[in-house]
Structure 1
Amino acid sequence: MKKLLFISLISILSSCACEPEQIAHFAFQGMEAMMGEGFMPSDEIRALGNFQEMNVGLNKSSETGSTIFLKLGNGDPKILSSQREILARKCAELYLRDFENAKEYDQITVQFIQTDPQNPENVAMEEYEFQVSDFDL
């Protein structure tokens, strides 16, 4: 079913004379249809730290449990300079509130990633891990 949905989405997009923003919108809709409503991080999360990049990774393992990885990149250094753990918890809370399949996961890991604009190979990452059960869902 998911494969058919993906193929249908690709065929629609390839026959469409759409703007890049429209193509991205359709792609996000297709991704959310497969992964669950709210899979893509909201603009509300982006605004909390003025993040330039946002990604989500989902990991389900019988050995390590299930984890959501919320990767937030290149946020405003002034905002990130203090109380990072509180900011990470707020981002986790907003993401879990919006993601309809959040209850299927045990943990959420929020990663703040900063890339040096002069040397993209210089990367700093800080991560905070929370139990999904600690949030009111």
Structure 2
Amino acid sequence: MDRYGEHFTGLPVFFLYFTCIAYCCKQCSLSLKSTGDGCCRITSHLKEKLDKEFADSVLEVCLRADGQLIKRLKGDDTMSGALLEIMEPIILEREKKAKNEGIEQGIIYLVDAFHDLGHNDAEIIKVVMTKYGLTEEKARKYL
């Protein structure tokens, strides 16, 4: 067994993933920064192109392994409770984002339709404010 295998045999993949990232961050003076979308990015002061490419390669391998782990944990038709608990905040955030994007697209179509029907901007703003509960300033952005 290689020098790493004896330490990591039987450990869950996600544990290894976070251990690897934490070790790399410590060794290279990197830090994890949340992107706000449930993901993390490694921020650093790496200057050399080769160092950056190496870090990108390590992250790519880790993310692929993470994706494979999720597929395995998901199983056939039901998601395990532990995976659902881990993924729920991310899923809820993405649902919220998708809903907001849908609302914005609806407002854009509404404004276009009212313009096509010959309504003026003041009428359109009033309708958008009433139907979507927006301030006048936010409603004007859709004109």
Which is richer in strand?
A: 1
Which is richer in helix?
A: 2
Bin of the TM-score, shorter chain as denominator length: under 0.3
TM-score (norm 2): 0.25
Structure index of larger Rg: 2
Report which structure shows greater RCO (CA 8 Å, sep ≥6): 1
TM-score (norm 1): 0.26
